[in-house]
Amino acid sequence: MRMNDRTENLLLALPGLALLAMAFFLPIGQMLVLSVSGASGLTLEHFSRFLSDPFYLNILWRTVRLSLIITVICVVLGFPYAYIMARVSPRLRMWMVVAVILPLMTSVVVRTFGWMVLLSRNGLISQWARDLGWAERNFQIMHSEAAIVIGMVQVLLPFMALSILGVITRIDTRLEEASRTMGASFMGTLRTVVLPLSMPGIVAGSLLVFTLSASSFITPSLMGGARIQVLAGLVYKSVTQTLEWPFAAAQAVILFVGVLLVLIPYVRVSTPRHG
C-alpha cells in the first residue's frame, strides 16, 4: 500500500477530527446561529433582551463577582498547598495528590450533596455555628452565596492546585537555596523567587477556575437554591423549562464570549513559552 507518513498521520487523526467537527464544533456553531435567529431572520433581540434587563444583568454580575471571589480563594488556598506538595517527601506528596484528585474524579452531584448535608439547617457546620453562638436558631449556610462559594471552591481547588503544582515542580530548588544563601528569609524567598516563577501556573489555574465557575450550574443551583441564580442556571431554565432556545443560545453566547475574552489573551501570552 503506497502511503506516505503524512497520509498515515492524517488517517489517524481523522476520526478524532470528524468527531469533534460533528459533535463539538457544529453544535456550537448551531448555537451561535440560533442566538441571532428571530421570527424574521437575523436579529439581536435576544441579546438586547438580556443586556437591557436589570434582572439579568444582576445575575450576570453575581456570576462574575462570585467567580472572582472563588478564583481568589482558590489561589490563596491552592498556592501554599501546591508548594508544600512539591516540596515534601514523595510518599506524603502521593497522599496529598490523592486528596486532590479523588474529589476531582468524583461526580459533582455527589460532592455537592455532601455540602448540602453539612451546610443545611441540621448540618454539622450550622450546628457548630449555633453552638458557638455565632448564629441564631434557624441558621443554615445553604441557599446563600456563601454556600455557592464554599461548594465551588471545593470543586475547583484541585484544578488550581494541580495547575500550580505543575509549574512549581519545574522550578529548580537550587534557586530557592541560592536565595537563602544570599540572606533572604524563607518567606522572603517565597515572595521574591517562588511566587514570580509560579505565576504561569497561577494564571493558568485562575483562568481555568474562573471559566469553570462562571459556567457551572449544578453546584450553584443546588447550593444557592431557587432564589439565588447564576447565569448557567438561567440558561438551563431557558432550555429545559421555558423552552426559549434562541434566548438560551444568546445567554450561552454571552457566556462563551466572556470566556473567550478571558482565554485568548492568555493563550496568546503563554504559547511562545511552550514553543
Interface with other proteins in residues 23-62 (CB under 8 A): 23-24, 26-31, 34
- Of 96, 259, 224, 76, nearest to 150 by C-alpha is 224
Q: Which of 36, 75, 84, 146 binds other proteins (CB under 8 A)?
A: 84
Q: How many whole angstroms separate alpha carbon 128 and alpha carbon 147? A: 16
105 binds other proteins, rule: CB under 8 A: yes
Could you tell me which stretch among 20-28, 55-63, 134-142, 191-199 binds other proteins (CB under 8 A)? 20-28
Q: How far is the CB of 75 from other proteins (least distance, A)?
A: 13
Residue type, 64: V
74 binds other proteins, rule: CB under 8 A: no
In the complex with other proteins, the residue whose CB is nearer, 70 or 255, is: 255
- Please count the other Cβ atoms lying within 10 Å of the Cβ belonging to residue 17: 11
- Please count the other Cβ atoms lying within 10 Å of the Cβ belonging to residue 271: 9
Q: How far is the CB of 61 from other proteins (least distance, A)?
A: 18
87 binds other proteins, rule: CB under 8 A: yes
9 binds other proteins, rule: CB under 8 A: yes
Q: How many whole angstroms separate alpha carbon 89 and alpha carbon 80? A: 16
> Which residues 218-257 are close enough to bind other proteins by CB under 8 A?
218, 222, 232, 235-236, 239-240, 245, 248-249, 252, 255-256
Distance of CA 19 to the CA centre of its chain: 25
Q: How many whole angstroms separate alpha carbon 61 and alpha carbon 250? A: 17
